[in-house]
Amino acid sequence: MSILIDKETRLLVQGITGKEGSFHTRQCVAYGTGVVAGVTPGKGGQDLDGIPVFNTIQSAVETTGANASLIFVPSAFAADAIMESAAAGIPLVVCITEGIPIRDMLKVVQFLKRNKCRLIGPNCPGVISPGRSKAGIMPGQIHKEGSIGVISRSGTLTYEVVNQLTQNGLGQSTCIGIGGDPVIGSSFVDLLKLFDEDPETQGVVLIGEIGGSEEESAAKYVKDHFSKPVLGFVAGLTAPPGKRMGHAGAIISGGAGTAGEKIAAMRQGGIHMVEHLGALGRTARDLFA
């Protein structure tokens, strides 16, 4: 099995006619994803390689039965795009867009609480269930179908970790980039719960970074509730306090959120940790064998 997306996913792409949207839509289709519609206001009636384009999410859902949305809308309009998908009844939204203002995302989070919609992102690479479906921008060829779940705050590190897993003979059930912004839709804990319920996921790799408290919350959940082995890595051991490192959420503030603190908390939670990324694949092979 997989979580979030599978062969039955009917994907809608918001911003499908833009440069990034059209390129990655074609990549998703080539991977085997069922892309059934696109939405670009004012361009309804057009198509992309036979995929119909609609002016609104509601009309696209009513016509095609889309049950997931992938967003490539500019940051100024992305919050509204997320909420429009949720209002149309789409249960899963994946937002690739980066640079969405925090105040906009706070409004989105409150809106989603009133709707049955799960958000992945923003500022993330998306979701892939190898051999089944891809809703995002990750390179499909490095993935291999299998039983290891991957959850990461970093898109680039996700690719490195997946490549190491594949090279060590470990396929993945689902790989998710949750995003590196201060306010995101789904946390480590939210997704750990889904992986714990998936009978075909044998274990999980958790990739964290400095800033925030996602890793500490995940460590507590793993210790108290998670029934499968977890392997972890935290980027940013040498990061200086007060300086943002890449992602908007990757900043040590007030002496909290350091890599050392996170690694210690994760170890205390029973998570097997690697401090050198190059050793992750070999460690995973030994742990999950």
Q: Sort 113 into a burial class: Cβ within 10 Å, 0-12 / 13-18 / 19+.
A: exposed
Decide if 119 contacts 82 (C-beta within 8 A): yes
- Yes or no: say if 149 and 204 are a contact pair by the CB < 8 Å rule: yes
Q: Is the dihedral of CA 217, 221, 226, 228 positive or negative?
A: positive
Say how many Å lie between the first and final Cα of the chain, rounded. 19
The rounded radius of gyration (Å) of the Cα atoms in the chain is 18
Task: Please calculate the CA angle 107-111-113 and round it to the nearest 5 degrees.
Answer: 120
> Look-up: residue for tokens 């509730």?
225
Whole-angstrom Cα distance, residue 274 to residue 63? Answer: 48
Active-site residue flag, 24 = no
DSSP one-letter string for 238-273: TPPTT---SSTT---BTTBS-HHHHHHHHHHTT-EE
24, 143, 225, 247: the active-site residue? 247
Q: Per the structure block, which two tokens stand in for 97? A: 């867009």
Longest dimension (CA), the chain: 56
CA atoms within 13 A on the CB side of 288: 27
Q: Which residues are catalytic?
A: 247
